[in-house]
Amino acid sequence: MNLKEVIYDYFQTNHPSSLVENTDLHDFSMIEQELGFKLHPDLQAYFGSYYFDEIEGILASSTVPATEKWGHWFEFNHEFKLPVTLHGPERDKDLKEQIMRAYQVWTGGYDFGQRFWVGEIFANIGQILLVFNNETGAVEWIDTDYGSFGNLDQDPNGIFTPTLVDLIVALTGSYQQR
């Protein structure tokens, strides 16, 4: 399944009346020119397919891959259920502004590479950012409250799911089980 289909399935299963198809044709070239790099096809689909408020669910921390440096960060911090929220593109707001905000505003001016803020995990240890890595297509987590904000060598971080599709599929099932 592609990302557009997965988003559609999530909303048909959980919130059938809250999804609005984005029928505008989007040319991402001007945004890419300003950014200085091409947007990953999944990021284009995420921002360009539908308007929606949030995709949410709860994932078991055991599903998050361990990292070489931080190990099983969530389990280490006694976080076993992770409430996850992904923010959708807003209707009647400029798409370029939304994408630029997802790229710039959350960083505090630090260079996190080609990462776009797409949501968060609300854990007992605080809010943990979910970012889309434009180079790899993975969804990553960054615990900026624990480390030294803006330094990925000191901020605990790792891959949350290999793709946005994987994350939304997992959230679809978790939402139904609540």
> Mean pLDDT over residues 49-76, rounded?
91
User: What's the CA gap between 173 and 178, in Å, rounded?
Assistant: 9
User: What's the CA gap between 4 and 47, in Å, rounded?
Assistant: 10
Token code pair at residue 37: 């790099």
Neighbouring residues of 111: CB distance < 8 A, sequence distance ≥ 6: 150
Percent of the chain topping pLDDT 90: 58
Instruction: Find which of 42-46, 89-93, 123-127 is predicted with most confidence, using mean pLDDT.
Output: 42-46
- Enter the pTM of the model: 0.91
**For residue 174, is pLDDT > 60?**
no
> Mean pLDDT over residues 121-133, rounded?
91
Domains of the chain, earliest start first = 3-176 (3.40.1580)
Neighbouring residues of 123: CB distance < 8 A, sequence distance ≥ 6: 74, 77, 79, 82, 83
Average pLDDT score, the chain? 89
